[in-house]
Amino acid sequence: MIIGFDAKRAYQNFTGLGNYSRDLIENLVEIYPENEYRLFAPKEYDNPRLNFLSNNKNISSIFPESPINKTFKGLWRSINIEKSIIKSKIDIYHGLSNEIPRIKNHKIPYVVTIHDLIFKRYPRNYRSIDRKIYNIKYKYAVKYSDLTIAISEQTKKDLVEFYNADPKKIKVIYQTCHKNFRKKYSKSVLEKIKKKFNLPNEFLLNVGTIETRKNLISILNAMTKMKNDTPLVVVGKKTQYMNFIKVQIKKINFNPDKIIFLNDVSIEDLPGIYQLSTLFIYPSFFEGFGIPIIEALNSKVPVITSKEGCFKEAGGEKSIYINPNDVEEIAFKIDECLEDSLKREEMINSGLIHVKNFNPEIISKKLINAYSNLLQ
């Protein structure tokens, strides 16, 4: 089988969509080396997370060739890419980030992964023009793809609700996380990471872009009500929401010494930070899936997260689920968990069993089976 991928995000994006694309491609290449893989991208970028490309002969990248397509990369990716797709002789094309090409004069099946419809759920967080563009792309992709992959049951429900999508054409295939999160770091490596980032002996951890939807403010408010004074480490890209957080830290008399902000943390160091943490706190209002939860479970860290949406799919039976708006409940649950080592151990053991559902072998097999079924 020759499989083509929309690899723009794999090359250019260093967070969610990029991680999904890179991990999916790398796992397929390693687990199913008998296939050939073609990566379609508007431009080649120097991305260390794609070093695996040079180690495999069954994978190649395809970029726009003509001056027009090199100049107007968006035009190539949405329309003129059709010629490149036909020329590459692929059996199937998979749009990994919510869209597919707009022209199709061939019989090559199109698959699209839809990650979430947050712009529908929380439109106030997006500019009007962005919402319109996303809506056009998503609606087209769902309507004209031969198969839609939703990364959670929540996303599948949203596709049916907002686009009246045919549930029979939607397959839920979860995502996995980077392989480094399945490694146990040695004590010496963890000590180096601890010193590098000046981390305390015990700390709460929150990972994700610092934006309104991730709801960092509820953690801070909860910490002012906790009996325990364990500090918080926040790992994530800063947005304008960070200015709001700074104001609120002063407003609620939050001790700034009790919070550490980290960004640009490498994929080599981040798993170590997880493994050093005591508890993972993720009171997000809404996600397509919540990959940091999977990273935490693989790292043997107990999880407290939101009770609605997709979070129970990611967190499993024994993670603790809270109302993200109820800071009293968040404070109580954090204190309760920190004070009960047996409960934390139970959560860790249950999490390790649950997270096996997201192992690369399982996810990759489901993808290959989905591709094969389309080609029958």
The domains located in the chain, with CATH, are: 2-176+359-375 (3.40.50.2000), 179-358 (3.40.50.2000)
Q: What is the pLDDT of residue 237?
A: 86
Positions in the chain short of pLDDT 50 = none
Q: What is the pLDDT of residue 250?
A: 85
For the entire predicted model, the pTM comes to: 0.89
Residue with tokens 């926040």: 234
**Distance (Å) of CA 201 to CA 109, 151, 261, 289:** 52, 35, 16, 30
> E strands along the chain, which residues?
2-6, 36-40, 59-62, 92-95, 110-114, 147-150, 170-172, 204-207, 232-235, 259-262, 279-282, 303-306, 320-322
Q: What is the pLDDT of residue 153?
A: 94
Q: What is the pLDDT of residue 115?
A: 95
Spatial distance between the Cα atoms of 108 and 122, rounded to a whole number of angstroms: 35
| Helical residues (DSSP H) of 65-209, grouped into ranges | 67-71, 73-75, 81-88, 118-121, 128-144, 153-163, 187-196
Q: What is the pLDDT of residue 17?
A: 86
Q: What is the pLDDT of residue 179?
A: 92
For residues 116 and 134, the answer to whether their CB atoms sit within 8 Å is no
Q: What is the pLDDT of residue 92?
A: 96
Q: What is the pLDDT of residue 256?
A: 83
Spatial distance between the Cα atoms of 356 and 165, rounded to a whole number of angstroms: 30
Tokens, residue 309? 């949406």
Q: What is the pLDDT of residue 56?
A: 80
